[in-house]
Amino acid sequence: MTGPSRDITALVALPTLREASSDLLGIVPVLRRVEAIGTIEIVASVESCRDRVARGGVGLVVVDARLESAPGTLVAALRDRVPVVVARPARLPDEEMASRDEGAAARVTAGPRFAQDLEAAVQGALSRSLQSREEREGGVDARALPALVLDASGRVIEGNRAFSRVFGEGPLAGRRVENVLPDGLAARAGLVELLADAEAGGGRSRTAALEGAGGLREVYELRASRLGRNGRLLLEIFRSTEIATGSGRLGEPSGLAEQVLETMNGALLVVDREGLVVFANAAAARILGVADPRGSRIERWLRSAPLADGPVGRALSEGTRSRGAETLLTRGDASVVPIGVSCAPIDDPTGARIGAAVLFQDLSGIQALQRQALEKEKLASVGRLAGGIAHEINNPTGFIHANLLQMGEYLCDLRRILGEARALAEAVRSGDAGAARERAETLVVLERDVDAAFLIEDFGKAIRESQEGSERIRHIVQDLRDFARSDSGESVLADLNACLESTANIAYTMMKHRIVLRRAYGEIPRLRCRPAELRQVFMNLLLNAHQAIVEKACATDEVGEIR
């Protein structure tokens, strides 16, 4: 259990607020060292302390025993709402203090180790309070097994959702526990003795069976334990089905079988007819991340489909066996892991369906290894294609480079023409007709010498060719990135035509001189798949086809074709 965050408000009840020495015991400095305490408030009377606690938000009260009417009054009033720690001077007799602070969460007496003892007492009180609050507020209804909270007289205070789902009882509060349990169960299980043991701190369990129809018996295991310090009891009920003619009980193997199931590496769950988990071995509990998943519904863990549509539901309703289906499992901490699951129905000796066995394996490690293998295979494929890819990039790079050199020469000629044009414009602006005529003749001769019309046309052609070459390089790089991209391994919606096209573009770089690759894609919707794995499959198919064609056609110098 994790410790509380630093948001607890501690209330310190001191004899007076007026004197600087009111905190003679040094309570406040100690509380400042407690990590969980964020705010410290000081009050000077019992009434102020009770009023402040009533407003809410207080997680701890520390009382200086010298406070008038304290600490007994405060302890009695607050112990069921907030932990109270009593700090007392050494000069007060222990006998007197014991009668005045009975029921306190802790008592600390001033002395050489007062600061250390008080800090330890506060930490312990906060920890116990947090645990008790979790049990009261969230533990009962969050439990997977049917559970009841009882008062000391055996009357129901509340029941959780699992109890209502399994036993279908109406309003529970105020009813006697024996009246909400199946008829005869309380007497057979010795419920009175069980609750008495729990009240004394025993926390034991008892088992009883009730006869049912069809040779089956409903077997119940009742567990009782004390809930907090307020006299309440927690009663959990685990129900399983026993075959009267058999040697064991569904969900409760015995002897050697139990040892085998508990030590096996495979995770095993057994569910009853309603999809409730009645047995889980150690491997299953470890993968699920809970101590005891019994009593929970199988749909809580498997995310693939509703019970009726999943492999477990088909095993229960149709007797269908399934093997190796991949799905996702939600653990107790809400994290998700991939699993491979196999299911088989469980029938009694009469052939009646009584449950199903669910065997599953965590595929996280296997899928990680598969992704690593896929990455290595991709790198190997890219290595085989490196020569062709380099050639495909080198060709457009070569003519882009040549075009750039040519455009550099064209730019020099254009600068000369631009220079003469500017000189002509200057002569015209100055009104020198002779100079203007001379510049115009020079410009005409220069245009003829450099063949300006061809230069402009060829310059545009070089730009277009360079753009086409750079676009070709961009496509090659994009296809290569798509092929080599790592993904999470999860299924996503993808365009299969696009996957095949980008892969074919890469593969064709090493085939084009001996192979004709014809492409005819149909109209298909986007499909849920693993694109990276499909691209690798397409690459392997294309490379294998290329190799087969080359080996067959090399002697005849024929051109092969892949469709």
pLDDT in tens, 306-322: 555 678 888 888 888 88
CB atoms within 10 A of CB 379: 11
- Check the CA dihedral 326-332-336-337 and report its sign: negative
* pLDDT tens track for 94-141: 555 554 566 677 888 888 888 888 888 888 788 767 656 655 544 566
Taking the model in full, what pTM does it have? 0.37
> Would you state the structure tokens that stand for residue 30, as one six-digit string?
């100690």
Q: What's the whole-number mean pLDDT along residues 449-459?
A: 88
Domain 143-243 has CATH 3.30.450.20: yes
* pLDDT tens track for 219-263: 778 888 887 656 788 888 877 654 433 344 555 554 445 556 666
List Cβ<8 Å contacts ≥24 apart for 186-192.
189/220, 189/222, 191/222, 192/154
Is 544 or 41 the better-scoring residue by pLDDT? 41
Nearest to 358 by CA among 310, 427, 395: 310
Q: Could you give the percent of the chain with pLDDT greater than 70? A: 75
Amino acid 21: pLDDT: 46
CB atoms within 10 A of CB 383: 9
CATH architecture of the domain 255-362 equals 2-Layer Sandwich (3.30)
Quote the CA–CA distance of 16 and 558 in Å, as a whole number. Answer: 107
Amino acid 246: pLDDT: 39
Pick the CATH number of 8-138 from 1.20.1250.20, 1.10.580.10, 3.20.20.150, 3.40.50.2300: 3.40.50.2300
